[in-house]
Amino acid sequence: MTQLDNGVPHSARVWNYWLGGTDNFAADRAAGDDFAAFYPDIVVVARSSRSFLKRAVTFLAAEAGVRQFLDVGTGIPSAEHTHQIARAAAPDAQVVYVDNDPLVLSHAHEVLNGEAVYLDADLREPGSIIASSGLDLTRPVALILTNILGHVADLDEAVSVVQGLMAPLPSGSYLVTADGTNVIDGEAFEAAIGVWNANAPLSYHLRHPDQLARFLDGLEVLPPGQVPCARWRPAGDASPAELRETDEYAAVARKP
């Protein structure tokens, strides 16, 4: 088992902290607070992104009839993660998580208890991911790529990753994507990201929504299109705070 160093902040645990989770340590909370000092809305971004994931997965399982979910670069599986959301809507849903971070993998094996499959694989090797997933490629699959493609510095390479993962999936499969942008409060977000990248082993790159739209090429984008996370099919009773737009754009698209 991987030895966890709780004295050094880790991006997955910092994200968990922003989500209000408990799988983090003092060093992670300090790093999260330092980031928020530059960009206070990061907490809103994280929670809006998770709410979008919940709505998207619920829609796919309950209304679109999808029973297979491939969540790549998932991070630490915490409350209301993909397998819990999908199975709440469809108890027979199958979920495969993919990550290559030893800390994430160690934690996942401790908490999942066989509720989902967890693969140790690299985002940049889509063929290996699909081959190892064990998914039935004669039936639709929902590919989930949230807050992961920004870690691929080159946009063309990121687009190639998406295409490599989607290509083997059958017609009727879906792509669920969300990533950080720089159009609403981009100056503050870019400043915070710059500090993070100067001190973190895995950098992140904000992109304009027009660049993120390239991930959707060749797919049928579901209404309301690519929008800030809070604006993707919000609940009818969503509060003004829940509807506030931040620099994270999301979309769900179907493979024809």
Alpha-carbon Rg of the chain, whole angstroms? Answer: 17
Q: 2: pLDDT confidence band, cut at 50, 70 and 90?
A: very low
Q: 1: pLDDT confidence band, cut at 50, 70 and 90?
A: very low
Is residue 4 assigned to a domain?
no
CA 19 to chain centre: 13
Is residue 5 assigned to a domain?
no
Task: Write down the pTM of the prediction.
Answer: 0.92
Is residue 29 assigned to a domain?
yes
Is residue 2 assigned to a domain?
no
CB 147 within 8 A of CB 158: no
Q: 12: pLDDT confidence band, cut at 50, 70 and 90?
A: confident
**Side-chain half-sphere of 208: how many Cα atoms within 13 Å?**
2
pLDDT in tens, 124-145: 999 999 999 999 999 999 999 9
pLDDT of amino acid 17: 87
Q: Total domain count for the chain?
A: 1
Q: 104: pLDDT confidence band, cut at 50, 70 and 90?
A: confident
Average pLDDT, integer, range 46-57: 95
Is residue 51 assigned to a domain?
yes
- Residue 178: give its domain's CATH number: 3.40.50.150
Please list, in sequence order, all residues whose beta carbon lies within 8 angstroms of the beta carbon of residue 92, skipping any fewer than 6 positions away: 67
- Domain coverage including residue 145: 11-254
Neighbouring CB atoms inside 10 A of 150's CB total: 20
